[in-house]
Structure 1
Amino acid sequence: MTIVDNRHQQAMERIQKAFDYVFQQPTLLVRALTHRSFSAENNERFEFVGDSILNYSVAKMLFVAFPTLTEGELSRLRANLVNQDTLAEIATELHVSEALLLGPGELKSGGYRRPSIMADAMEAMFAAISFDADFNTAEKVVCHLYAGRIQHINPKDNGKDAKTRLQEALQARHWALPKYRIIDQIGEIHEQQFVVQCDLGELGFQTEAAGHSRREAEQQTAQTALVWLDEHHPLHKGRKK
């Protein structure tokens, strides 16, 4: 059995609070948060089960939320919700990195911030909940975490995120792609926020946003830039040749 220190214990308690679920067998949660660089008893097999739980749960939520969408449209929406970036974003919001058990090499290289490691831990935790309780309980936790994201989906966007839509909007107008840059990092490592700027270059528009991850901040700036672009340069007029 892996022994965890007080810092990891507190981090795991925060995760359980965010899940609105308390493990009856805490060792399952520890296993879900253990990377292969730390121990032979790691979360890789848990990921296999958690991936299936996640895909089914999100698929069912989308099926109920969007009764008129086709199978292909639902699949595209799901793909954007269960991918590595979204899982890592949720993990960042939950401060999962503070609870990860990593080997010395991964710690030194900043593995606790690596999207793939955080995404894998999320899937492993869904599996751990199903082992600790049952499938329905794990599904309930997934629904709890994804409810807000699904509520804010605009089906007309085909599940594309703000950065992708901004890029396509600029390309449609024959303008250069936006440039994103980190202009500040605020707070301690475990509560760090990234301040990112989105620069539309020749259009003379810049916007900034802060997020718990670089990706989150970039998405926020892209969304603001999209609104500005549609207001000031609608596609049906003023297109640059």
Structure 2
Amino acid sequence: MENEIVNLTELGRRLGHRFKRKELLFQALCHASYINEQASSDLADNERLEFLGDAVLDLAISDLLMQRFQEATEGDLSKYRAMIVDESGLFEIAQRLGLGDYILLGKGEAQSDGRAKPSILANTVEAIVGAVFLDAGFQKARKVIDTLFAPLIEKVQSRDRVHDYKSLLQEYTQKAFRSLPQYSLIEETGPPHDKTFKIALWLSGTMLAEGCGKSKKEAEQQAAREAFRCLDPV
């Protein structure tokens, strides 16, 4: 285990934090599938750190957004935070850090391309945030988060992601209902060069909304927007 901890120095540099307790960073990278295959009972997976990191992230991102968007309403801030800390945002952070090269997985998970799975990578980012918090406290964790998530906050500020209702809806339904929206094509009309698509959005077997657009992607966004407004999460 000691050699594996030493090899994490480069990851620490990418994070902008030098761990006093390197074993915390090591634990943050230990997927449950890896721990299950180890003989040592002293090792722990990253799930508890992930739980902690999720809470630290919510607080830090909320603080950063309140400073950046001083005129925004509570509802707007909640939506912005949901855009930033959803699985796709965390996955983007993980890719920039190259976390796939560091995560410790069991053989089966590794063989099923676990190092590229958005859910595993996103959870590992949260675990690393939890590790930084335990190693150096909230202010240091906030500083690391500010650096890592700055590009995502900039996207919110420039409105690049404000209208990504699919991401917003997915983040909300995953947390509130432990279920993801499903999209199905209802109708396709018009000539080949000018088609219109109608998409239905389903959640847990119930159709929540429909959307139309000149592409399937546009129709899905329209359906997600209607469903998001219908659920009124904020």
Query: Which TM-score band applies after superposition, normalised by the shorter structure?
Result: 0.5 to 0.7
Q: Does 1:70 align with 2:73?
A: yes
Using the alignment, how far apart are the partners of 1:60 and 1:156 within structure 2?
19
Q: Does 1:176 align with 2:179?
A: no
Label 1:44 to 1:157 Cα distance change in 2 as closer, same or farther (>3 A). Answer: same
Q: Paired residue for 1:133, among 111, 114, 136? A: 136
Using the alignment, how far apart are the partners of 1:94 and 1:156 within structure 2?
24
1:80 aligned counterpart, secondary structure? helix
Query: Residue deviations 1:138-176, cap 9 Å, x none?
Result: 111111111232133247567234987xxxxx9898412
**Structure 2 match to 1:182:** none
**Structure 1 match to 2:126:** 123
**Structure 1 match to 2:32:** 36
Question: What is the CA-CA distance between 1:37 and the residue it aligns to?
Answer: 0.3
TM-score by length of structure 1 reads 0.64
Q: Paired residue for 1:26, among 22, 25, 31? A: 22
Using the alignment, how far apart are the partners of 2:55 and 2:30 within structure 1?
20
Q: Work out whether residues 87 and 122 of structure 2, in 8 Å CA contact, stay in contact via their aligned partners in 1.
A: yes
Using the alignment, how far apart are the partners of 2:213 and 2:88 within structure 1?
28
Question: Counterparts in 2 of 1:1-241, with a 5 A limit?
Answer: 2-5=1-4, 9-10=6-7, 12-39=8-35, 41-154=44-157, 159-161=162-164, 174-178=213-217
2:34 aligned counterpart, secondary structure? coil
Using the alignment, how far apart are the partners of 1:151 and 1:174 within structure 2?
28
**Structure 1 match to 2:202:** none
Using the alignment, how far apart are the partners of 1:38 and 1:174 within structure 2?
45
Deviates more, 1:170-179 or 1:19-28: 170-179
Instruction: Read off the aligned partner of 1:111 and give its amino acid letter.
Output: G
Q: Work out whether residues 27 and 46 of structure 2, in 8 Å CA contact, stay in contact via their aligned partners in 1.
A: yes
2:32 aligned counterpart, secondary structure? coil
Instruction: Read off the aligned partner of 2:34 and give its amino acid letter.
Output: F
Label 1:175 to 1:143 Cα distance change in 2 as closer, same or farther (>3 A). Answer: same
Deviates more, 1:150-159 or 1:57-66: 150-159
Structure 2: gaps spanning 5 or more residues: 37-43, 168-196, 199-210, 219-234
1:49 aligned counterpart, secondary structure? helix
Q: Work out whether residues 80 and 160 of structure 1, in 8 Å CA contact, stay in contact via their aligned partners in 2.
A: no
Q: Work out whether residues 49 and 126 of structure 2, in 8 Å CA contact, stay in contact via their aligned partners in 1.
A: yes
Give the % identical residues: 33
Instruction: Read off the aligned partner of 1:109 and give its amino acid letter.
Output: S
Q: Work out whether residues 76 and 158 of structure 1, in 8 Å CA contact, stay in contact via their aligned partners in 2.
A: no
Number of corresponding residues: 171
Instruction: Read off the aligned partner of 2:216 and give its amino acid letter.
Output: L
Label 1:156 to 1:89 Cα distance change in 2 as closer, same or farther (>3 A). Answer: closer
Label 1:176 to 1:114 Cα distance change in 2 as closer, same or farther (>3 A). Answer: same
- CA RMSD after TM alignment: 2.7
TM-score by length of structure 2 reads 0.66
Question: What is the CA-CA distance between 1:63 and the residue it aligns to?
Answer: 0.7
**Structure 1 match to 2:226:** none
Instruction: Read off the aligned partner of 1:13 and give its amino acid letter.
Output: T
